[in-house]
Structure 1
Amino acid sequence: MRAFEPHHPKLRIAALVIVAGGAVARGVAYLNQPSTGGLTHFIDALVPLHVWAIVWIAAGVTVLAGIWHRVVGRYALAFVSMMWAIWGLSYMTATVFGDASRGWVTGALILNLAGLTIIVAALADTVGPSREPVKLDLRGDG
């Protein structure tokens, strides 16, 4: 996240740790959960929830590995963002099919998180300002 680095050297690491923590927490929440009770309409039908738990945890650990390897971080962030988007769409689908009348609320929040994660991933590839000191021109040519 080179765009973050000129502002604060630890911001890149903080962003990756936050995203990784969210993914791992999601995975841990699904470890012993048989289903989401209809909240994730098509996700439960595709793959059992305990398998999704492993995928979430692995994605979070991979994002953490991105602290040391930028390319790994880039793809891990993109993958986690895709996972959040799938989950958000699943909550929205549950609303459409009548499984959860207020699933759209959680779906909207999760889709928001997916978008923010995409922005973090995009910043990971942004070059940002140069590392040389900024020289201010105080003459005021105007």
Structure 2
Amino acid sequence: MCRAARWLGQHLGRRGTFLAILGIGKTCFGVGFIVQPPSTRGLELLTDRCPLSAWAWVWILAGLVTFASAWLRIGRDGYGFIAAMIPPALWATAYTSAVFTGAFPRGGFIAVWYLTAHVGVIMWASTVPEHSVPPAPRRARKGGAP
């Protein structure tokens, strides 16, 4: 089990691991909307156009694209980061709209949460290089110093 986890960590790297975890989370979040639909208060901007179950598929598809992108080389994994940002950006937009229309005043706080804890973190993670920590310095060998 540890050998498989080590191989997986080496194969995916830091960015890939982040995308894999994010992809699984977004997929599960979307499935949760289908299995047990929550209140749609504040999401009227979205649910006036399509039912919540259709928007759940946006989360699921974004999660699958994000997860699949985890296995791509650095530089080609950008679609995963873009896909990961789409659903929370839509939700933040809907909650912000609900604040301005007066339908859900608390939606502003939820929108800020989506923009910071989701979109902001994803944007930051997309800029983190795979190997940003320099290797440890080598110890000097005994003797032979000029």
TM over 0.5: yes
Unmatched segments (≥5 aa) in structure 1: 1-7
CA RMSD of aligned residues (A): 3.0
Q: Output the amino acid matched with 1:67.
A: A
Q: Does 1:69 align with 2:85?
A: no
Query: What's the TM-score once normalised by structure 2's chain length?
Result: 0.70
Task: Give the match's secondary structure for 2:41.
Answer: coil
Alignment of structure 1 residues 1-142 onto 2, 5 Å: 9=10, 10-32=13-35, 36-70=39-73, 73-112=77-116, 113-123=118-128, 126=129, 128-129=131-132, 133=135, 135=137
Amino-acid identity (%):
24
The count of residues paired between Structure 1 and Structure 2 equals: 128
User: CA shift at 1:88, angstroms?
Assistant: 0.9
- Distance, in Å, in 2 between the alignment partners of 1:33 and 1:40 is 16
Deviations 1:2-54 (A, max 9, x none): xxxxxx85433331123113311321122156674331131112322211111
Higher relative contact order (CA 8 A, sep 6+): 1
Give deviations 1:76-119, integer Å, cap 9, x for gaps: 21122132112112111111111112111111100111111112
**Contact 1:33–1:50 (Cα < 8 Å) also in 2:** no
Q: Which amino acid aligns with 1:46?
A: R
Which structure has the larger Rg over C-alpha atoms?
Answer: 2
CA distance in 2, matches of 1:86, 1:28: 17
Query: Any unmatched runs of 5+ in structure 2?
Result: 1-8, 141-146
For 2:64 and 2:76, locate their aligned partners in 1 and report how far apart those are by CA, in whole Å.
11
2:29 touches 2:59 (CA, 8 Å); kept in 1?
yes
